[in-house]
Amino acid sequence: MSNESLYTRHAPSFSSKIFSYAPDAFKAFGEFNKEALADGVISVKVKEFIAVAVAHVTGCPYCIEAHVGKAKALSASFEELFEAAAVGAAVNAHSAFFHSVNALNAFNGSKETDLYSRSNIELVEQLEDVNEGLYNAFFEYVHKSLKPQHIEAKEKLLIAVGSAHVTGSAYSIEIFTKQAKEAGATLEELAETIVVATVLKAGSAMAHRVNALQAYERE
């Protein structure tokens, strides 16, 4: 097998020729992407912070490249971008950690038919009895990631809400949405955050069209 890189910086432009095979759908996605990231109740700069965080959750190198560049053009510092990425990482971990309550229920032979009961969130406290050091270290990590520094508290929580929608964790969505509301986030801001997260999750799949095209055309 060739040692050819599967991820190269010129890849997205190379893959533009695939557009002609589904022009209407690709055009519609482009319009959605443009509208989702336009200035609204959330500024374009903060939307790019959300985009950078979500791109780190999806692991899309093309998306990271594009949105770091766009954020930098808006005078974002690397300190801000690193904080945004750290929030995304913390939410990804939060999603996995809170699924431990499902593992706890499974281990204890729970007969609960609702796998995502809101009351399950309260069960996470039982994990402290299992391993107090690990439990406290995890929550300290999340707390530090969300602590306002170069990015303000409400903005970090909007980033967290967007990231939680990409992880798909009902627990994380519940927790970070409530925290964002308490920090003053409006329903309009939450709606725009969700749209940005949605377009980035779809955009990751869209950007990876290059890999499908290369695989298809490779001799």
Kind and range of the H or E run holding 172: helix 170-182
Residue 94 lies in a domain: yes
* Domain of residue 132, CATH code: 1.20.1290.10
Residue 50 lies in a domain: yes
Residue 200 lies in a domain: yes
Q: What is the pLDDT of residue 217?
A: 80
Residue 11 lies in a domain: no
Q: How far is CA 131 from the centre of its chain?
A: 28
Print the domain residue range for 170.
23-217
Produce one character per residue of 149-160: b if its CB has 16 or more CB atoms within 10 Å, e if not: eebebbbbbbbb
Distance CA 7, CA 57 (A): 17
> What are the mean pLDDT values of the chain's consecutive 10-residue runs (219 residues total)?
57 67 91 97 98 97 95 98 98 96 90 81 93 97 97 98 97 97 98 98 89 80
Residue 153 lies in a domain: yes
Total domains in the fold of the chain = 1
Residue 6 lies in a domain: no
Residue 7 lies in a domain: no
Following CA atoms 83, 71, 62, 190 in sequence, which dihedral angle do they give, to the nearest 10 degrees? 70
Residue 18 lies in a domain: no
